[in-house]
Structure 1
């Protein structure tokens, strides 16, 4: 049992802490020698912090457990990522909170927002946010708050903005959900998008975007640009493709007309989008690459969460441009199914075998005592002799301590094995939860 206990301890230490740091060490900034700081941007998509409204079909206890486990996983990932890369800028590509758009009290929203900040602590002034449909809503719904946009702006900043990160590169952040809503209204009136009299919305922002000679635009939009359904996303994607479609509160891609409008007005050198949760890399025919960034969360239907690293040069020396790199995080489901579940089965099997052998030895000792004997002939037990001899004799020594009932003995054995690794798991969780 001591061997099992230490095996559990090593596995818990590795998969609850070590594997996160090991995974980020496989990744590095796509930096060249002439790149100067500040020019490194860490891009995170769709963390979607869960709350009590998430997964309403689940029982309250399961929902609470889902919140705790996803928060803990992202805390571990974020600490490993931020300590490893120390970015000049951090960009969240929208859907920071799963239900930020819902109608809730001010106090509840503040607690929700505080949870997000506790999972992703970072220096103020270096972090920028892109509005997602789960943040500000998309379309109309009775469950959406009338103050969703105002609330978002007061906590996360402007919906549309320009961030100059180097002399030659700037980020153009666009409010894609509002752009979809504007496009819906525009189509009802049959007005071309270039003639749409937008006031204070994303269409006006894009129209008035100043041209800066020699400066390259990197477009950040929560919703991906249009592409035909079935367009290949490259070999890194886990499954399927991004399909054109929409529904209550979401739209998978921007329309072809809106996408063309963005491309013509912004002329992006590179585009980063979110929303889809899985990775997609697409070379548009206009000559730029769009990367749909993986979700950072294990709750978004993908096995391996991820994030994107972006390095941009201070100048155009060598005609080299911005470079980006996909980084993957641990497969938490794979850890549960591939390691924890088999080890649980092994542990249960070993405990049951130990108890059965101990009882057999105990009964044999009792029978031998009735016949005037005193020692159980362990060499006749036909299982790996030396190991079983040690194992059974150890069980006999525990006879008085463990009690007589099989269930009681089983529970005590299980506690003996699980005590140390469970304590380690709790300690690791506390360290990450409280940010020590």
Structure 2
């Protein structure tokens, strides 16, 4: 280091040393004294507040009712809503049935900068925290009250997953889709691609996992009776996760599948087959852009999956029956390294062929199947619910058959028919995307299959009352997969479970806030009028001695006849009776002290005389002080309770 730089460093060091020395001297001197004084003041205030009269006062009673309201709004309300949906309250199986309990969650769509890019960061952070907490509370109640055997998500796990740049691969909008963005998105897309990349997406994935994956076994990992185990599947992509149709970007889809799982899959639960199909990629095969561009990389894997899905279903059903009935169908190869041309592959699992056991199938798709415009969704739809018994066209109650940038409300007729026909033996379809409940039976071309579009679980997706769908599966079968005698004809029962309406909860908070202010104002008004004991503490008086006045220190000099003598002489100061100090405390010859403490300093030892004047039964200053003190006390106690409830789940 050059000498000049060294001298500068020494000067800086000396300056810092001097500053620290002065700070230490101040702490040891005036600073320590001020700290001691402050601590003494605090302790005096604590002692003044820790009296039975203040602890059992009206403001604390009101704060207790606020605690009950907050416990109801932040804890008990979710438990009470979900407990009403208990399986035994709506299942209609025989008494000895052991159904498989499945829950379907649609469109949790955790919020991010894509939600509303014009929101300031503090506003977005607040909204994100509130909505994440709502999802956590609803999910926690779901797991602990219902304890499902399986849980499947129906897509749109993230709000802007398709927008966040990938670590590798080409990431720009296709030419045919960039103009479809809204004006707001066009202003922000370059900023998104610059600021939010793969690291941000991974944090969002972790955030989703903290809400839904981590608590999965909190209520216990043991499944219900006669169930192979508990299963959670979140691999079905939505248009917010990877895009829609011709706009799906392969790097985005690859990233989604690498972390959430394969979008096209077959699962066996409760003697039913669940087939999940990536319908957002499937839609690229019937899009208008297919005639001009090669989109096979997008829809090709879905077509390949659908071509072989029935064989996959039969093989999985065969394996399931082998597990329950002990039929040896497993692979029994020795651990040898063999040449592929010489290896015996006859023992590999093979499709048993048409006619083999095939369980009733549930088809899961993010986008609902096609239906005629204005087809009603039924009375349980929250938006303009349909009148019971009415089958007429109802545009307000229906899912609108429209499309736009990165979305399409329903699949095309061609894709819908292809899905049902290819999967085969479909007894029920479940979808998401619309955010509201919709139930209908499709046309003959789709084999009259019943479809339920599941409500969103999020409080910020345009539906005041979120929810989820409960599905009960019971299909008793023999070793060949045939129904046992007495088995039900309908093996699927469903129930819509509604979560709390947050707007209603906040309205209750607002109403009780207004009530609290009114009742505190009424009490503050009557404190000076009825001479009630005030909650506000009087200001502390300086010094520890009683008030002293000049006429009490120097009593008037009296003569032997008891009259005053202003001229005064020491010999006649205590005249009137014999004895040097006989009337030391009295000027009228009576016994007792001149200063009556309970009358001059206190008001009966209970209420301070400073609260009112003797001739005035109302004091605006007293009322205002009482109103402020009681309101502040109730406010900070309630806010601390609310923060505790939020931070502790």
The TM-score range, normalised by the shorter chain, is: 0.7 to 0.9
Query: Is 1:247 equivalent to 2:384 in the alignment?
Result: no
Compared CA separation, residues 151 and 198, structure 1 to 2 (3 A) = closer
Within the candidate set 48, 57, 65, 1:7 is matched to 65
Within the candidate set 302, 308, 329, 1:208 is matched to 308
Deviation at 1:348, TM superposition (A): 2.4
- What's the secondary structure of 2:457's corresponding residue? coil
What is residue 373 of structure 1 aligned with on the other side?
A: none
Alignment of 1:17-416 (within 5 A): 17-29=75-87, 30=91, 32-33=93-94, 35-36=97-98, 39-103=100-164, 104-120=196-212, 121-123=215-217, 126-129=231-234, 130-139=236-245, 147-167=251-271, 169-184=272-287, 188=291, 200-211=300-311, 212=314, 213-239=357-383, 240-267=397-424, 268-285=426-443, 286-315=447-476, 316=483, 317-337=487-507, 339-358=508-527, 361=528, 378=529, 389=530, 393-395=532-534, 398-400=537-539, 410-416=627-633
Compared CA separation, residues 31 and 126, structure 1 to 2 (3 A) = farther
Deviation at 1:228, TM superposition (A): 1.8
What is residue 226 of structure 2 aligned with on the other side?
A: none
Deviation at 1:287, TM superposition (A): 2.6
Compared CA separation, residues 119 and 190, structure 1 to 2 (3 A) = closer
Separation (CA, whole Å) in 2 of partners of 1:275 and 1:155: 21
Gapped regions of structure 1 (runs ≥ 5): 362-377, 379-388
TM-score by length of 1: 0.83
Separation (CA, whole Å) in 2 of partners of 1:210 and 1:307: 29
Deviation at 1:395, TM superposition (A): 2.8
Within the candidate set 416, 421, 429, 2:638 is matched to 421
Compared CA separation, residues 264 and 5, structure 1 to 2 (3 A) = same
TM-score by length of 2: 0.56
User: Would the aligned equivalents of 2:535 and 2:626 in 1 still touch at CA under 8 Å?
Assistant: no
Separation (CA, whole Å) in 2 of partners of 1:215 and 1:426: 50
Q: Which moved more, 1:54-63 or 1:231-240?
A: 54-63
CA deviation profile, 1:264-310 (whole Å, cap 9, x unmatched): 22231001000111111111233321010010010111111101111
Compared CA separation, residues 90 and 412, structure 1 to 2 (3 A) = same
Separation (CA, whole Å) in 2 of partners of 1:407 and 1:227: 65
What is residue 383 of structure 1 aligned with on the other side?
A: none
Compared CA separation, residues 260 and 345, structure 1 to 2 (3 A) = same
CA deviation profile, 1:122-155 (whole Å, cap 9, x unmatched): 25972112110111112566xx876211111111
CA deviation profile, 1:194-250 (whole Å, cap 9, x unmatched): xx9987421221122125343211000000011122211111111142100111111
Separation (CA, whole Å) in 2 of partners of 1:397 and 1:412: 6
Deviation at 1:31, TM superposition (A): 6.1
User: Would the aligned equivalents of 2:283 and 2:299 in 1 still touch at CA under 8 Å?
Assistant: no
Gapped regions of structure 2 (runs ≥ 5): 1-58, 165-195, 222-229, 315-356, 384-396, 477-482, 541-610, 612-620
Compared CA separation, residues 9 and 341, structure 1 to 2 (3 A) = same
Compared CA separation, residues 188 and 250, structure 1 to 2 (3 A) = same
Separation (CA, whole Å) in 1 of partners of 2:488 and 2:147: 26
Compared CA separation, residues 188 and 397, structure 1 to 2 (3 A) = closer
Deviation at 1:62, TM superposition (A): 1.4
Deviation at 1:406, TM superposition (A): 8.1
- What's the secondary structure of 1:308's corresponding residue? strand
Larger RCO (CA within 8 A; separation ≥ 6): 1
Separation (CA, whole Å) in 2 of partners of 1:273 and 1:299: 19
Separation (CA, whole Å) in 2 of partners of 1:256 and 1:407: 70
RMSD of Structure 2 on Structure 1 (CA): 2.8
Number of residue pairs aligned between Structure 1 and Structure 2: 393
CA deviation profile, 1:38-96 (whole Å, cap 9, x unmatched): x2211101001112332223222211111000011111111110111111111011011
CA deviation profile, 1:329-362 (whole Å, cap 9, x unmatched): 111111112x11111112222333444444xx2x
